[in-house]
Chains A and B, each alone.
Chain A
Amino acid sequence: MAGHQVNSPMTGQVIEISVEVGQSVSEGDLLIVIESMKMENEIFSEVNGTVTSIEVEEDRNISEENLLMTIEI
């Protein structure tokens, strides 16, 4: 078991969180949408696993490389 950290690839604002803690996700599933440079940037899971923590909430401003969530694989 290892915690896979999902970090934000860019600075922007969280506009949608598409998963909940405890939810299992597969590679390619939509995790979160970040608005940056006036675009909705969809962040997809790179792994199969279970979401164990979500570190941000909707409308929160975030910085590049901020931890968004952890997925246990």
Chain B
Amino acid sequence: MPIDPNRETWKPGMPWEGALEDIDYITALGQEMGGAERVDRQHSGGRYTVRERVDKMLDKGSFIEYGPMIGAAEYDDDGNLVEFSPGAYVMGLGEIDGRPVAIGGDDFTISGGSPHNVRKHPTDFMQPLASQYGIPYIQLVEGVGHSAKSDEAKGHMGLPDGALWWRGIELLKKVPVAAGIMGSVAGAPAAFALMSHFTVMVKGQSQIFPSGPPVVKRAIGEDLNKEELGGYKTHVHESGQVDNVADSEEEAFEQIKQFISYLPNTTNDVAPRIETGDPPDRRPEELLNIIPPNRKRSYDPRKLIKLVVDNGDFFEMRRHWAGALITGFARLDGYSVGVIGSDPMFMAGAMDGWAAEKYAHFVDLCDAFNLPVVMFLDMPGFMLGSHAEKKATMRRGVRALIASAEAEVPKIEFNVRKAYGVAADAAHSLGHPNGLNLRFGWPAGEWGGIPIEGGVAAAYRREIDNAPDPEAHRLMIEERLLKLRSPFRAAHKGDVVDLIDPRETRRLACRFVKLAQPMLEKLAQKPKRIVRP
């Protein structure tokens, strides 16, 4: 519906009916976004428009839009509207599963989502709304930021004062912030997207970078297409810049909804309990034999986690990055928990610099949102070798340790197999020294300052070298020490609360999470740190 230049516009003093007609008329003009041709282009690229995205995210009919009439409006001398083009942002209040959220997104059909002559920005409504009312904030980002054309229009190049960001930074301290990266995103919109607790991009459709391929080529001569430069392989698998990848926009929306579902509305609340119908005393039989007797062999750690949590529902975050460590959300007896696990199938579960960073971030996130942490540890220590050294593995490992010690949320830790050295101490430190170090051991549990194999070679080097048969001597010492590795010996000393039948894991974890609830209520009242992405 293009604008009708001959239509008489309502003016003060005219009957109300005309005003109501104009509300519908101008609102409808705004709904056309950048016009039929631009909308078609959006669709033919396999992408939804921002209005379709908002519709798909929210409960039907729950959207209350801010500023549907905000736009560049021109009136003729008689006071009739002759031109209207809407602002390039859609935002408002909505509901997801009956829960209020602030939501908004760039309208890419208007100036490619770039700011133009109409001021319509999330800082005007969405961000203050989320902040003041304490509700989750969802941004669906598709824009390329500052346009050189706008400098020409303004006649000067402004010196940015940083004022663009403070509300977004405040939000990170207060409410869950989730971003869908819905297309090519650069410049300020890219930074807005990453200023989130959770980010997801769509495979093959989303890219994110400070500047896209033409600017890169001009600046450093690198000739890459946008997917190579900032697609999901670069940023979800390699750099860890973006948390998750989705196969479709629908899946991205679903991931955002899931992420939000595990968190409370603010950092001063505790996540609501949801009836899941999974009995807390369920005994997962398969847990008994999930760890292979041969300690060189792996097992599927996600299967282990899913056997324990309610209905096997585990929402994993950063699945494709820093694979030695698993982080995600689940429910136990209906209560939200953060889950940290090791993946023995990737670098044997050893903590490298990236895994340490992933650990610290996730612990910070759980601490900020008052989520108790459940751990399934099988960590042989820090990853060794030159590649790990180049990731500043120990410095980041120390950071992980500090994150643990600073966090006040309680944890329950199941030492399902290995826990060696300072790396495992990061996990052991969570909830400690401020609170109870609630640790249980499985029969496969083995732990210590250093694994026996490497430890013997280092500590008994002179004795081994001087032996008539050094290899046989080394094996003899190892044999002797192996007996010490029995988890029963540590249990006698009280290193664990108890050694348990693995099938008891769920029952204990559910009891712990229930026990933790009153404490979480108190922790929620404390001031919170910002979770830095």
Binding site for B on A (CB under 8 A): 9-11, 35-42, 63-65
Contacts and interface: CB of A to CB of B under 8 A. Distances in A.
Main secondary structure on A side of the interface with B: loop
A38 B346 contact: no
B345 interface: yes
14 contacts: A10-B346, A10-B348, A10-B383, A37-B380, A37-B381, A38-B296, A39-B298, A40-B298, A41-B345, A42-B298, A42-B345, A63-B387, A64-B385, A65-B387
A45 B381 CA distance: 27
Contacts of A63: 386-387
A36 B348 contact: yes
A9 to B, nearest CB: 7
B348 A9 contact: no
In order of increasing CB-CB distance, the 6 nearest A-B pairs are A37-B348, A39-B348, A64-B387, A11-B385, A40-B296, A37-B350
A42 B296 CA distance: 11
A38 B387 contact: no
Contacts of B349: 39
B380 A38 contact: yes
Given A9-B346, A9-B347, A10-B347, A39 B296 contact: yes
B280 interface: no
Interface of B: 295-298, 323, 344-350, 380-381, 383-387, 451, 453
A45 to B, nearest CB: 15
B345 A38 contact: no
A41 B298 contact: yes
Given A9-B346, A9-B347, A10-B347, A37 B384 contact: yes
Nearest to B378: A39
A10 B352 CA distance: 11
Nearest to B346: A9
A49 B298 CA distance: 26
Contacts of B387: 10-11, 63-65
Contacts of B386: 11, 63
Contacts of B381: 37
Contacts of B380: 37-39
A60 B350 CA distance: 22
B296 A36 contact: no
A36 B350 CA distance: 10
Contact of A38 (B323, B385, B451): B451
A64 B381 CA distance: 18
A10 B381 CA distance: 15
A47 to B, nearest CB: 14
B296 A35 contact: yes
A39 B420 CA distance: 14
B453 A39 contact: no
A33 B210 CA distance: 39
Nearest to A40: B296
B347 A36 contact: yes
A37 B348 CA distance: 6
Contacts of B347: 9-10, 36-37, 41
B456 to A, nearest CB: 13
Given A39-B298, A63-B386, 19 more contacts: A9-B323, A10-B347, A10-B383, A11-B385, A36-B347, A37-B381, A37-B384, A38-B296, A38-B451, A39-B296, A39-B297, A39-B344, A39-B348, A40-B297, A40-B298, A41-B347, A42-B298, A63-B387, A64-B387
